[in-house]
Amino acid sequence: MNLILLHKDDFIGGTKRVTLHGRRLQHVLTVLRAKPGDELAVGLSDGLLGRGRVTMISEDELEMETTLDKEPPAPLPVTLLLALPRPKVLRRVLLTASSMGVKKIFLMNAFRVEKSFWKSPFLGEASLRQQLVLGLEQAGDTVMPDVHLRPLFKPFVEDELPGLIRGTTPLAAHPDAENGWPEKTAGPVTLAIGPEGGFIPYETDKLRDCGFRTVSLGKRILRVEAALPALLSKFF
């Protein structure tokens, strides 16, 4: 945790004084080992970054005076379309996407996505949010990504995707693609990443019909957890 992410209900009596309990307090106690007078990096969820000066700390509670005066880092200009991975992988990739600055994520269906993945409790709002918050705390960002679930491939690609990709460069990551990674992409990108078994030809055809270019990072077939940061790093 490189940033303590604050929420409006952490503030007491105005806009500066904050109390913390639970996971964030434990982190301050056991990892940062802060004492009264120490300054901690803080940020308001969907707001500014700043510092919090510890005024009181005990096993049960921390109080600090905050100054919030800096903009969070710029978002990555990438909308991510991710074929829903298995729940354990999903948690890791959401944290990675959030820490790398992706602000719009569509979890979509594909033939090789197991149906049971859509029933996972990890798709609940609170679970998704937990991973996104961990990513923001890791990166020192405050802006919460939006996650959208799209459990039907065809209507998503045919009806919604044409509007979504407007004004962006649409790329579908596919190890077998003949095109290498583009030298340069101008402006925002919509990036599709396939399931663990990869996109089937019907799906790459549909994405191409919609305007996507299939692009490969090379012959090495990477796991989704490795492909995601490798692909996103192209936009840093």
Residues that bind ligand SAM (CB under 6 A): 173-176, 193-194, 196-199, 216-218, 220-224, 227
Minimum gap (Å) between residue 222 Cβ and ligand SAM = 4
Structure tokens at 205: 């055809």
Q: Toward ligand SAM, which CB reaches closer, 65 or 176?
A: 176
Minimum gap (Å) between residue 38 Cβ and ligand SAM = 43
Q: Toward ligand SAM, which CB reaches closer, 139 or 171?
A: 171
Structure tokens at 80: 């991510």
Minimum gap (Å) between residue 154 Cβ and ligand SAM = 18
Task: Go through 184-215 and write b for each residue having 16 or more CB atoms within 10 A of its CB, e for each that does not.
Answer: ebeebbbbbbbbeebbeeebbebbeebebebb
Minimum gap (Å) between residue 106 Cβ and ligand SAM = 14
DSSP state string for 141-209: ---PPEEEEE--HHHIIIIIHHHHTTTSEEEEE-TT-SB---S---S-EEEEE--TT---HHHHHHHHH
Q: Toward ligand SAM, which CB reaches closer, 42 or 153?
A: 153
Give 211's DSSP letter. T
Q: Toward ligand SAM, which CB reaches closer, 152 or 221?
A: 221
